[in-house]
Structure 1
Amino acid sequence: MSGIRHHIPEALLASYVAGSLPKPFALVVAAHVSLCETCRASLAAHEAVGGAILVDFEPIEVDDYLRDRVMARLDDEVAPEPVFAAQGPFPAPVVEALAGKAPKWRSLGPGAKQCILSDDDQGSLRLLRINPGMEMPDHGHGGLEMTLVLQGAFNDETGRFARGDCEVANDDLEHTPVAEAGEACICLAATDAPLKFNALIPRLFQPFFRI
């Protein structure tokens, strides 16, 4: 997808390839890469490096028991994995996380909704739908936050983010995202710590919204 200005940092791409990136953030990376030719090329380069490193590893001997178990299962039937395609603004990795169903939106208050996809010790992953012109509460971060725009656009202190753009925020960023006029802004957001809201009302409702 052309026109994307905000990409995934190389360190996060490397962690994704190594399999060490927590699942909520890995899904954001997968969704972004499905939209972004630039990061898709960078991802392929990281995978090539990883493959070259594996080639240089010393072979490890496998005992007879493990070898026999593997050989015995070669003819086992394997159920085909479901294949998900993009639907509307949602790229295939998001459709898969939704199990092919439409998001179940829950209100966050006037003009904002969310659909929580996962929330566990690896972090939280959610879809956010913000009405045009809506300003989100001013907040900071207690950890990492990755926000991928799937529809519409928003602006904050760091710039403009449209479809395919990914904002990567940590504890040194405090911002007030504002959805642009036009269509609703839909984002995929992953966090590994609660947001730090500055106003009292968002802090009071924060435990109920799990954000």
Structure 2
Amino acid sequence: MENNIKHHLTDDILIGYAAGTLPEAFNLMVAAHLSLCDTCRAQAESFDAVGGEILDTAPATDVMLEPGSFAATMALIAGGPVDEIRAPRVPDSILPGPLQDYVGGDLADVQWRGIGMGVKQAILPTSRDASARLLFIPAGAAMPDHGHKGTEMTMVLQGAFQDEDDYFARGDVEVADSDMHHTPVADIHEDCICLAVSDAPLEFQGLLPKIVQRFARI
């Protein structure tokens, strides 16, 4: 699929991805975006190269290992979990390859759960330090007005949405922090599907969104 991406990942996010310091959910977001965005992929590769150069030129240090360390490490590897067999990736899918791995297939395999007003979500299995979910928002529908206690990144996979800041289409990523308060509205022409990751709960003002938040884990 050809994409005209206008909203990219920040350098801080890409550096964290290269350094391996991001939560799993954020790594998933970055990997999914890089599979669609030539610009960010090239930038990420440059940060990888810088990290490799630092490792190559860093002064060597003598580290004494305990006797049997190597054997113990190999035993841990041998006794580790067996890699799960992943479903083959579907080319030209709405879901980028990294997302297909988490879903276990294509868009038809997503286990949606309704959360009200036609909006559906599917929470993806990631580590507890951040959450990842797919969101389905009917065309023209608005998400409740909300703020953020931490960082939330939202990438459009299908359709588009608009808020007080800008218009976001396929591949675009909106990065929201505690300073942002907005009301995303799906474009009227097509249902909007997004990947959203966050490291803290959202802040809703209305009573009904707060009630929904309890069981939807938003």
TM-score (norm 1): 0.89
Superposed displacement of residue 81, structure 1: 7.2
Q: Deviations over 1:52-76 (max 9, x none)?
A: 011022154565744567899xxxx
Structure 1 spans left out of the alignment, 5+ residues:
73-78
Structure 2 spans left out of the alignment, 5+ residues:
76-81
In 2, Cα distance between equivalents of 1:15 and 1:95: 23
> In structure 2, what is the equivalent of residue 9 of structure 1?
10
Structure 2 counterpart of 1:94, one-letter code? L
Structure 2 counterpart of 1:210, one-letter code? R
In 1, Cα distance between equivalents of 2:57 and 2:84: 32
Identity of matched residues, %: 47
Pair 1:176 & 2:180 matched: no
> In structure 1, what is the equivalent of residue 174 of structure 2?
167
**Equivalent residue for 2:213, pick from 198, 206, 210:** 206
Q: May I ask how many residue pairs the two structures share in their alignment? A: 210
> In structure 2, what is the equivalent of residue 97 of structure 1?
102
Superposed displacement of residue 38, structure 1: 0.1
Greater Cα shift, 194-203 or 114-123: 114-123
Alpha-carbon distance change, 80 to 114 in structure 1, aligned in 2, over 3 angstroms: closer
Alpha-carbon distance change, 175 to 70 in structure 1, aligned in 2, over 3 angstroms: closer
Alpha-carbon distance change, 199 to 35 in structure 1, aligned in 2, over 3 angstroms: same
Taking only aligned residues, the RMSD between alpha carbons, in angstroms, comes to 2.7
In 2, Cα distance between equivalents of 1:120 and 1:81: 17
Pair 1:25 & 2:30 matched: no
Structure 1 counterpart of 2:100, one-letter code? V
More strand by share: 1
TM-score (norm 2): 0.86
> In structure 2, what is the equivalent of residue 76 of structure 1?
none
Matches within 5 A, 1:51-62: 51-57=52-58, 58-61=60-63
Matches within 5 A, 1:146-161: 146-161=153-168
SS in 2 for 1:45: helix
